[in-house]
Chain A
Amino acid sequence: MKTLTFPDFVINRDNEKCIQCEVCVRQCAFDAHTLDKETNKVETDIKKCVGCLRCATMCPTGALCVSEYSQKIRKNCNWNEKQLKELYKQAETGGVLLTGMGTDKDYKIIWDHILLDAAQVTNPSIDPLREPMELRTYLGSKPSKIDFRFDISDLKLKNLQKGILKTKLPPQLKIETPILFSAMSYGAISLNVCRALAQAAEECGIYYNTGEGGLHKDLYKYSKNTIVQVASGRFGVNPDYFEAAAAVEIKIGQGAKPGIGGHLPGEKVTEEISQTRMIPSGTDALSPAPHHDIYSIEDLSQLIYSLKEATEYKKPISVKVAAVHNIAAIASGIVRAGADIVAIDGIRGGTGAAPTRIRDNVGIPIELAIASVDSRLREEGIRNRASIIAAGGFRNSGDVVKAITLGADAVYIGTAALVAMGCHLCQKCYTGKCNWGIATQDPYLVKRLNPDIAARRLINLIKAWSHEIKEIMGGMGINAIESLRGNRLRLRGFDLHDNELKILDIKPAGESL
């Protein structure tokens, strides 16, 4: 069938600059650049270009320029190019449209409509380069009060040592900055990427998350900084897996595809992945949409406590859900079911592969989810019983500060971390041909990502964001992050509807205390 789709990109080759070195040919896994053996000339097929910019980045003379395909169809606000292309594609294939990464639809990003406060005159701002500035956070369940026994007649209690602390804290995850790496499974991403994430997490005093793909033997040494996931496919779950983790996360859903399972095609299940996931090599790895032992909240509670038993109550249990309409009630149920951490993934959350329609249409923005969950848990007086990790499209430290100020304890970053390692958001993760060596198992492509370089870039990113968070906190006259967390009076909404302001529980810009 002749295809009616037209290209996404144009590759412009400046022949004045092109030295025919074939770097582009060797770098493009989609075969957009090829060498004509007869003429010995490099050729380009723009239809194959995915816009990952690998060729343009690697070209030693800067001869390549990738831009949007400019031949325009007749302008139509309803039936735009994107719609047409998708229709042609489906007419030609009869299939569900697949895509990767988080949604690219231009939903309002509420972060950009929330403004932060700063101290002026009555309250001195603090210079984080001269004064202490504390970002350390503990994730886990906290008792609502402590039990401290002391002699009431010893009112002066000169020596606190005389008192006895009866309270035993449930297990906590200590993080030096309120940022963690999101769940990304070995299989969806390459082992080198997992290595880089693990190394960076160790160096930064934070955690990375294995995703549902099990834990490769090489990564056991990073166990202090590892959160392992138990998802509906139960891949790679075994006693050593729990032993090697600092915390266990039950994955119910994911922001990019709430209500949808996962499917790692057999060709990606290499020998190593088969060992790690504990499935035969070459077979499809299927994660069912629901956990088939969790059809309601009481079943979740059973799994939470099974995992607590299996880890001897020494490790916090997290439950990750996608932000859906009833998220506040769901989160409350999860906390009451015994979770120590609730991870919430908003509609802009990323994925290695998801049906386009699901990714672009299901869920709610993380901003509203954080606010409604934090408010609900406080109303019910159970906010102390679990920490909240927010996920789904955190682009910079400003977003992080706003999320924490709305009430999150920490954030998960996935896409931002991938971009730091080289991802150019071409959304072709599901093809397994990632030219940047990230979302691929192809031995030619995997080696393109040197984990040492990637780890360095991740560490730089986390350090840079942490510095910025400190700078912002200093400006607000706050020197410990716990005073920022949930402190919504330091936020103002700008250009937001009354309903949004109400749910976010923040005042409009211009309104004083």
Chain B
Amino acid sequence: MKKIYFREEYCMACRLCEIACLVAHSKSKKIIKAYKEEFPNLTPRLVIEQNGPLSFAIQCRHCEDAPCIAACVTGAMHRDRKTNAVSHNAEKCVGCWMCIMSCPFGVILRDIKEKKVATKCDLCSDEKILACVNACPNEALICAESIKNKDKKKE
């Protein structure tokens, strides 16, 4: 499956990916409206890690052997049969946050507005373009089947 990969050597921590993610998952999908009216009830579904000049944006890796799916008590966290992505069904979620505890990357977050439901990257399920990849001005985020050999170690 296609995944989102990051290349930290080109990430400049501008956080445009974060903004784009947030807007893509807002109700209006309009940046100014989302920020002025829906905020702070919005959470980006990716995390930007930063330490000095080193930075990168990370979101759900859609692990093959996903600990969050194993940890989920209600089956809300599941593997999508069609896309093979790790998916989250908000209807079934009871907000026990075991997924958050088990995620080795720390990319499952609490949803601020409901306080209960965990939220994570859904590969922009209802959109064709991945908002964060599209927003990155430096191609530090790319969407690919697999990353080129030279960048393999950064997977």
Contacts and interface: CB of A to CB of B under 8 A. Distances in A.
Interface of A: 16-17, 19-23, 26-27, 58, 60-61, 437, 443-445, 447-450, 452-453
A19 B10 contact: no
Contacts of B16: 23, 58, 60
B15 A22 contact: yes
A19 B35 contact: yes
A437 B139 CA distance: 14
Interface of B: 9-16, 19-20, 31-32, 35-36, 52-53, 135, 137-140
B32 A448 contact: no
B15 A450 contact: no
- Tell me if A's interface is mostly helix, strand, loop or mixed: loop
A457 to B, nearest CB: 12
Contacts of B36: 19
B12 A452 contact: no
Q: What 6 A-B pairs come out closest when comparing CB atoms?
A: A19-B35, A443-B53, A450-B10, A450-B138, A444-B53, A448-B12
Contacts of A23: 14-16, 19
A447 B12 contact: yes
A86 B20 CA distance: 43
A444 B53 CA distance: 5
A16 B31 CA distance: 12
A42 to B, nearest CB: 13
A21 B12 contact: no
A14 to B, nearest CB: 10
Contacts of B137: 58
Contacts of B9: 447
Contacts, number: 53
Contact of B32 (A19, A443, A450): A19
A453 B138 contact: yes
Contacts of B139: 450, 452-453
Nearest to A63: B32
A444 B50 CA distance: 11
Contacts of A450: 10, 138-140
Contact of A447 (B31, B32, B53, B135): B53
Most buried by B among A19, A22, A449: A19
B10 A60 contact: no
Nearest to A19: B35
A26 B32 contact: no
Contacts of A60: 16, 19-20, 31, 135
B10 to A, nearest CB: 4
Most buried by A among B13, B20, B32, B139: B32
Contact of A26 (B15, B31, B52, B135): B15
A61 B138 contact: no
A447 B16 CA distance: 15
Contacts of B135: 60
Most buried by B among A17, A60, A448: A60
23 contacts: A16-B32, A19-B32, A19-B35, A21-B15, A21-B19, A23-B15, A23-B19, A26-B12, A26-B14, A26-B15, A58-B16, A60-B19, A60-B135, A61-B31, A437-B12, A444-B53, A445-B12, A447-B9, A447-B138, A448-B12, A448-B138, A450-B140, A453-B138
B8 to A, nearest CB: 8
B1 to A, nearest CB: 24
Contacts of A447: 9-12, 53, 138
A444 B35 contact: no
A444 B12 contact: yes
Most buried by B among A20, A58, A437, A448: A448
